Amino acid sequence: MISKLPLDRINWVSSTFLIVTFLTAVIGTPLYIYHFGIDFFQVALFVFYFIATGMSITLGYHRLFAHKAFKAGKTVKLTTLLFGASAFEDSALDWASDHREHHKNVDHEDDDPYSISRGFFWAHMGWIFFKLYPRPLANVGDLKKDPLVMWQHKHHQRIGFLVGMVLPTVIGYFYGGWQAALGAFLISGVTRLVCVQHCTFFINSLCHTLGNRPYDSGTSARDSWIMAIPTFGEGYHNYHHSFQHDYRNGVKPWQWDPTKWAIWTLSKLGLVSELRRVPEEKIVLAELREMKLQADAQIATGRSWKINCPTRQEAYDTLLDLSQQLSEGYQELEKAVGDRSVQISAEMLTRWRKISSDVSEQLSLMRSLQPALA
Ligand SMILES: [Zn+2]
Ligand SMILES: [Zn+2]
């Protein structure tokens, strides 16, 4: 793998920053806590900074600037630009440019900046070690017209240093002198930024490796509820790659997506508007299409191993029957989505969802009956 890395073009500034902050977090912070302990103030400041900077990436950098999933006024833009810079993940302009390339060329070894096809470590953070400046930024013409975005692009390192490092240190000093200031710098400054960065990195690595693909198995992007927890809802990455302009990533009512809830709340307060949502029938259509692909694949493999086993034969026949219903449902829904004159009722969607969930259950049964490979 090492031989595939472009060792002749290392970005020394980014690489040194990533390594020094990581070592400071894993060595300096435990040493500080061992010597001075940790109190409620330090924990609360860390939580505040983790949420403020983490959500400035998910709500601001990602859903607002990179995807334009909603429109925001100056208050939301400025807040997410200030705290987003404090996550030290580049300017919003650079971040959005890389991210739009990722969506456009996902899984392509050369054109996707953090392609999983170049390995887990490359997708996670390896790509940052080799990212050289200046980049073309041809795909962010819209953002270049925004004076706030351009101001942050010019000063993001200074802003990040002041808001993300100096400010928590000063707050710590006023709370409890130099000892608390050092703690705030280490815990809410450095350790917090390392945590936020790796949460973002895990979306590019783990969410392209582990999890389900209920909407599109054509890409490596996966839905992972575990990853949604520390990333404020960004773990539903298969949905996101299927419908990137939706302001929601966790689209089901039970899915953990605080970024979606925050955007919705801000819209009720009049601070953001024009939230973009994919119509429910298009989401169900994608789910039916994907379920049909999985059912077809299972039917193809089940054809040979059902022989001489009544239980498997029965499960196979049931899947075949359900798959037929799924095909009919898919065709019916596809036609209804294409024909705007057809009113798609909630009952129709419930019926199609039910077929899809029956097929899903039958697929699980079939997989449990699958004979062990010789
Ligand atoms: Zn992705
Ligand atoms: Zn995205």
Average pLDDT over the chain reads 91
Say which range, 3-7, 42-46, 141-145, 247-251, has the weakest mean pLDDT.
Answer: 3-7
pTM: 0.91
Over the stretch 88-133, which tens digit does the pLDDT of each residue have? 999 999 999 999 999 999 999 888 999 999 999 999 999 999 887 6
Q: Is 2 exposed, middle or buried (0-12, 13-18, 19+ CB in 10 A)?
A: exposed
Write down the residue that tokens 């997410």 correspond to.
80
Instruction: Look at residue 249 in the predicted model and tell me its pLDDT.
Output: 97
Q: Which pLDDT does position 2 carry in this prediction?
A: 56
- What pLDDT score was predicted for residue 307? 65
Q: Which helix (H) or strand (E) holds 291?
A: helix 280-305
Cβ atoms 129, 14 nearer than 8 A: yes
Interhelix angle 74-85/147-159, rounded to 10 degrees, is 30
Q: How far is the CA of 234 from the centre of ligand 1 (A)?
A: 10
CA of 269 to the centre of ligand 2 (A): 25
pLDDT of 330-368, one tens digit each? 888 888 788 776 777 888 888 888 888 888 888 888 878
Query: Is residue 1 pLDDT above 60, yes or no?
Result: no
Indicate if the pLDDT at residue 136 is higher than 90.
no
Q: Does residue 72 sit in helix, strand or coil?
A: strand
Which among 83, 98, 88, 76 has a CA at the least distance from the CA of 146?
Answer: 76
The predicted structure's pLDDT at residue 146: 97
Query: How far away, in angstroms, is 14 Cα from ligand 1 center?
Result: 22
Strand partners, 72: 272
Distance of alpha carbon 247 from alpha carbon 257, whole angstroms: 10
pLDDT tens digits for range 196-232: 999 999 999 999 999 999 999 999 999 999 999 999 9
In the reported structure, the alpha carbon of residue 60 is separated from the centroid of ligand 1 by a whole-number distance in angstroms of: 17
- For residue 5, the model assigns a pLDDT of 66
Q: Which ligand is nearest to the CA of 201?
A: 1
- Percentage of the chain exceeding pLDDT 90: 70
- Find the helix or strand (DSSP H, E) in which 273 lies: strand 272-273
| Distance of CA 82 from the midpoint of ligand 1 (Å) | 24
Q: Cβ atoms within 10 A of the Cβ of 40, count? A: 7
Dihedral, CA of residue 61, residue 62, residue 64 and residue 70, to nearest 10: -170
Give the pLDDT confidence score for residue 374 in this predicted structure: 38
37-72: pLDDT as tens digits: 999 999 999 999 999 999 999 999 999 999 999 999
At 361 the pLDDT is 85
C-alpha dist (Å) from residue 65 to 6, 42, 80, 125: 30, 31, 10, 22
